Structure 1
Amino acid sequence: MTDPGNIAEAFKNIAHDYTEFNADYSTRLDGKSMAMRLSEPSGKDPNRIAAAEMLNSKVQVYGDTAILTYNFAGVSKNKEGEIKTNRAKSTRVYVKQGGKWKLVHANFAPDPQPKN
């Protein structure tokens, strides 16, 4: 897990034309620069990820394209020490560009707790 405060490191393998869907915005985010700008404040957030796991991961490779799907399980801790669990269903699409794998699209969907 990279340092969430180091945005440049977190985005080093992301393509310039990257797109993303996530639960925080009702529209698609277009471009690496936009995603970086919107991520910068969260890197300074006192609520930090204390632990994170990629569960049930599956990689499908089709030539120079790879699709990674997984469930995210994490624990965050705020400045008062309170713990909160985080869950998500995630898809990431990678393309080999110039001999390097670059993330070109991601979809992070909520994965709510089942109701009894």
Structure 2
Amino acid sequence: MLASVNYSDYATSITPVLKSDGTVRVCGDYSVTLNKVLHIDRYPPRQRELFARLHEGKEFSKLDLSMAHMQLELTEDSQPLTCINTHRGLFQFTTGFCYRRRPRYFKTMERILAGIEGICIF
């Protein structure tokens, strides 16, 4: 997930974020670097359509994909752009971390699974 690097043109500072369970998540503050140039995919769930599709359902399953983006490897060209500057040195992400891009994954899943009866992505 993280790889140590000796130098980076793009290093950003870290920001501690308190999680609901009381532990701390260390995040990169990309508000002044990467976020300024990222295209944000908009993919809001369409509630009426979802409820209409679920209305006749009798059995439901849930796959929690909340951390699925962490399983996707970043390209070699993208990794240096994710560099964070810590008290232990510079590190860059090797797997997907970008929450702003998550909607694209769901949009892709919906397109791939379109037409399969009983499948609803949201």
Could you say which structure has the greater relative contact order, defined with CA pairs below 8 angstroms and 6 or more residues apart? 2
Write 1 or 2 for the structure with the bigger share of helix: 2
TM more than 0.5: no
Question: For the pair shown, which has the larger CA radius of gyration, 1 or 2?
Answer: 2
Give the TM-score normalised by structure 2. Answer: 0.29
Give the TM-score normalised by structure 1. Answer: 0.30
Write 1 or 2 for the structure with the bigger share of strand: 1
